[in-house]
């Protein structure tokens, strides 16, 4: 088992590097960096000034000093200077990725006017006191251009809010889905099976943005008159209760519950037709004992993997629900960061997402081995 886990961890690290590099590459494409430069500087900046700003701040290779001097002295026009700007792939992207990870020392760039810009230098501190490495591995997540604070400080309360939301969703979704699936699969083809299967398919086929809007219209507005809940979960961040927190939890749980229930139902129906179940029936074992002592454990092998896969899916589901209900978690922060081109925040959220996906997959693999002794880990 130890070697099995070690191999899985190795694959996880390699996968994490590949995924984070893809996200880093996409977020650092020139159009995104151009919008960042203009939002931090001036929206009317010409291309040569955008390239100069990106070079001074370590995002791209610095502009040729001769071109920049000629432009500043009026020897060439902005259009002529822009012709020398590289808007395609920049080899510095690879170094930037290493600096962001923390395996390469942070850049120290001296501008033509003599000012020095260093990645690892904190505002108000001396450059000599700045560390050489300041990346993810050192716990330095970068600076959020929207929150005007470090990404780690900005993300910490968002992660806590989303974690609590996901916990409540799982506590409602998993037991409900397993009960529905087991009840439907115990007697395949019965009225109970068909009824519960229809409900499960209906909930899975209804996306969160549809069910969420319907719940708000029915249970929070005067259109129907059932003002049982609040249409916003903003107050739930400080004081979560049934009134302001149940609707977002129910919206996410219903969508995932149908899929888990269908998988549990299919697994339970297959187990109930197995030879050892028929033998137990012929020996006179009661039906409840057959279900609880013989069928249930084997029927839960497949749903366990599906349940663990719900954690990565929840990170996608909360984007819609948190935005809809104004609940400021990771999903809400992701929408805000994407809308405002907050590159460092987007990268920080991608790290959290990759970590959750890989860890849940590792737990799923280990749990599957324990539940199914027929699987070899050698």
Same domain, residue pair 20 and 85: yes
369 has pLDDT over 80: no
Q: Which residues contact 117 (CB under 8 A, 6 or more apart)?
A: 56, 57, 58, 107, 108, 109, 110, 111
Q: Which of 117, 140, 163 is where one domain is finished?
A: 140
Same domain, residue pair 136 and 198: no
371 falls in which pLDDT band (50, 70, 90)? low
Same domain, residue pair 10 and 132: yes
pLDDT value of position 377: 53
Give domain status of residue 156, yes or no.
yes
Q: Which of 114, 140, 166 is where one domain is finished?
A: 140
268 has pLDDT over 70: yes
| pTM to 2 decimal places | 0.82
Domain extent at residue 21 = 2-140
Same domain, residue pair 159 and 49: no
Give domain status of residue 216, yes or no.
yes
pLDDT value of position 372: 64
Number of domains in the chain: 2
The region of weakest confidence among 4-8, 16-20, 242-246 is 4-8
Give domain status of residue 338, yes or no.
yes
Give domain status of residue 378, yes or no.
no
Reading phi first (left if > 0) and then psi (alpha if -120 to 50, else beta), residue 106 is in beta
Give domain status of residue 376, yes or no.
no
Q: Which of 119, 140, 161 is where one domain is finished?
A: 140
DSSP states along 249-284: HHHHHHHHHHHHHHHHHHHHHHHHTSHHHHHHHHTT
Stretch 72-92: mean pLDDT, rounded? 87
Cβ atoms of 256 and 308 closer than 8 Å: no
Same domain, residue pair 113 and 191: no
Give domain status of residue 145, yes or no.
no
Give domain status of residue 117, yes or no.
yes
Which comes out higher in pLDDT, residue 128 or 168?
168
Q: Which residues contact 325 (CB under 8 A, 6 or more apart)?
A: 212, 231, 232, 233, 234, 247, 248, 251
The region of weakest confidence among 160-169, 293-302, 326-335 is 293-302
E strand intervals along the chain: 108-110, 116-118, 143-144, 149-150
62 has pLDDT over 80: yes
Give domain status of residue 146, yes or no.
no
Query: How does the average pLDDT of the chain come out, rounded?
Result: 84
Same domain, residue pair 198 and 310: yes
Stretch 284-295: mean pLDDT, rounded? 75
Same domain, residue pair 89 and 182: no
Same domain, residue pair 103 and 162: no
CATH number of the domain enclosing 206: 1.10.3720.10
Same domain, residue pair 103 and 165: no
What span, in angstroms and rounded, lies between the C-alpha atoms of 269 and 121?
62
Tens digits of per-residue pLDDT, 203-230? 888 888 888 888 888 888 776 667 788 8
Same domain, residue pair 78 and 212: no
Closest CA to 130 of 110, 105, 103, 97: 105
pLDDT value of position 42: 81
Same domain, residue pair 88 and 156: no
pLDDT value of position 40: 84
Secondary structure class of 357 (helix, strand, coil): helix
pLDDT value of position 18: 92
Same domain, residue pair 98 and 190: no
């Amino acid at each position: 088992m130890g070697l099995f886990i070690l191999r899985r961890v190795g694959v996880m690290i390699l996968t994490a590097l590949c995924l984070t590099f893809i996200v880093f590459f996409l977020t650092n494409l020139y159009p995104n960096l151009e919008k960042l430069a203009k939002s931090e500087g001036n929206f009317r900046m010409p291309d040569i000034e955008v390239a100069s700003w990106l070079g001074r701040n370590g995002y791209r290779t610095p502009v040729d000093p001769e071109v920049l001097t000629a432009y500043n002295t009026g020897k060439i026009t902005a259009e002529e200077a822009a012709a020398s700007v590289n808007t395609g792939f920049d080899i510095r992207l690879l170094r930037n990725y290493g600096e962001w990870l923390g395996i390469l020392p942070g850049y120290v760039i001296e501008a033509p006017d003599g000012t020095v810009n260093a990645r690892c230098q904190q505002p108000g501190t001396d450059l000599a006191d700045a560390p050489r490495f300041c990346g993810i591995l050192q716990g330095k997540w970068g600076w959020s251009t929207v929150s005007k604070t470090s990404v780690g400080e900005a993300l910490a309360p968002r992660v806590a809010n989303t974690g609590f939301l996901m916990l409540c969703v799982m506590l409602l979704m998993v037991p409900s889905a397993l009960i529905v699936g087991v009840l439907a699969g115990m007697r395949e083809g019965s009225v109970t099976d068909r009824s519960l299967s229809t409900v499960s398919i209906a909930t899975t086929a209804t996306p969160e943005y549809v069910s969420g809007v319907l719940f708000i219209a029915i249970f929070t507005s005067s259109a129907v008159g059932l003002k049982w809940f609040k249409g916003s979960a903003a107050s739930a961040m400080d004081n979560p209760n049934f009134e302001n927190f149940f609707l977002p939890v129910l919206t996410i749980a219903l969508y995932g519950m149908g899929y888990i229930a269908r998988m549990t139902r299919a697994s339970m129906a297959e187990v109930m037709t197995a030879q050892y179940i028929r033998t137990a029936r012929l020996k006179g074992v009661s039906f409840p004992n057959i279900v609880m002592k013989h069928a249930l454990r084997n029927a839960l092998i497949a749903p366990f993997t599906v349940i663990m896969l719900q954690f990565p899916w929840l990170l996608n589901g909360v984007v819609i629900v948190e935005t809809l209900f104004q609940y400021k978690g990771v999903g809400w922060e992701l929408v805000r960061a994407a809308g405002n081109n907050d590159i460092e925040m987007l990268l920080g959220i991608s790290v959290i997402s990759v970590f959750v996906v890989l860890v849940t997959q590792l737990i799923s693999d280990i749990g599957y081995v324990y539940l199914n002794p027929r699987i070899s880990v050698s």
